[in-house]
Amino acid sequence: MNHLIDRSVGCLVGAAVGDALGGATETALPEEIRARYGGWVEGIVAPFHENWAGRLLAPYHKGDGHITDDTLLTHALVRVYARKRDHLDAFDVAELLVPDLIERVVHIPDMEREAVTFHRLAAAERWLVTRLHHAHADPREAGVGNICNCGAAMYMAPVGIVNAGDPAGAYAEAVEIAGAHQHSYGREAAAVFAAAVAAAMTPGADIEDVVAACLDLARDGTRAAIEAVVKAARGHRDWREAITPLRAAIAPYDTVGEEYRSPGLGARRPSRLHSIEELPIALGMLVVAGGDFRAALLGSVNYGRDADSTATMAGAIAGALGGAAAVPAEWSATVAQASRLDLTEPAVVLAEVAQQIFTADQARFARRADRFAELTR
């Protein structure tokens, strides 16, 4: 396979593997994770909640290699790109993504049944359907009023692949798309994550190039949070030792607080001073790991809290940096089988679409160059 396909596969398979591994430890704190599993999680494990089926509000079979809504939404966005075969905007979210979520029947691994993706979405993601399908809101403004979380960021990796090598382009496209879903620092994180993937897709890039791209583009609290977490990460080379200092570094910017399952009244509200937790921590774990997939993923998984989304982002960036070979085959094979998903096919399709979009971009720029040349004669 060529480099574009290889890195696309690494990115999207890596994201799915991160989602599956992190799903098991989601909402738990590091000390709870170690108590439940008798030590650090080192791979695919059983659900944190042994009686997961009895959890009335969230009867999801997370763990055992099952992907969650992070990957379901990522694959839905790939299908949207495959339909349009061009750059996306907020109107495409309303016209193409929302119908996919409410009409297309897919296998939902952690629900262990076939259903439309909407049935698996949390409230902040169902907002997409409420605002765009039922309320007919202007897609460019539909995200306003939603809780600020990582719901839009967690599925923005395809935007980075389409804009491979162009972090600023990825940022601009993702901030446009995410406006239909999120606002404030939730929208900002989506744009910065897409930029991180685009930077990681660049030939010869390493984690320092990715961090530099993020810091160049990020604004307000998101930039400050990334800067603080990365600074703390530079003092560590072992993810086990980095968990506590990285949590301390993100704490001033995170509105959820230490009691993750019981956030306070100020949680997830718009702010220019705050940030989602997941993206800065993913970048921090990647810095600690030197870009290594396995170490960055395990750090994200054992960090707990919103572990599936943190590990999704770490896996996408590490996979884009290292290509398909960076993702441990024993993990990806188990996740694919357990989730009954072809993890590679969406990445191959998206790489093909990215090539078509780039060709169209070249033609568009050539036309503009000709017109601009006439203006300067």
Return binding residues for Mg(2+).
Answer: 68-70, 306, 308-309
Q: Which amino acid is at 75?
A: H
Task: Report H helices in 26-68.
Answer: 30-37
Give the H or E element holding residue 160.
Answer: helix 157-162
Positions at the binding site: 68-70, 306, 308-309
Structure tokens at 309: 């989304």
99 phi and psi angles, rounded to 5 deg: -60, -35
Which residues are within 8 A (CB) of 129 and not within 5 positions of it... i.e. 6 or more apart?
A: 98, 101, 102, 118, 121
DSSP string covering 276-344, please? Answer: -SHHHHHHHHHHHTTT-HHHHHHHHHHH-SSHHHHHHHHHHHHHHHH-GGGS-HHHHHHHHHHHT--SS
114 phi and psi angles, rounded to 5 deg: -85, 140
- Tell me the three state secondary structure of residue 16: helix
What distance in Å separates the CA atoms of residue 57 and residue 72, rounded to the nearest whole number?
Answer: 19
Number of helices and strands in the chain (H, E) = 17, 2
Give the H or E element holding residue 106.
Answer: strand 105-108
User: CA 127, 12, 171, 285 torsion: positive or negative?
Assistant: positive
User: CA 173, 197, 283, 208 torsion: positive or negative?
Assistant: negative
Asked whether the beta carbons of 151 and 186 are under 8 A apart, the reply is: yes
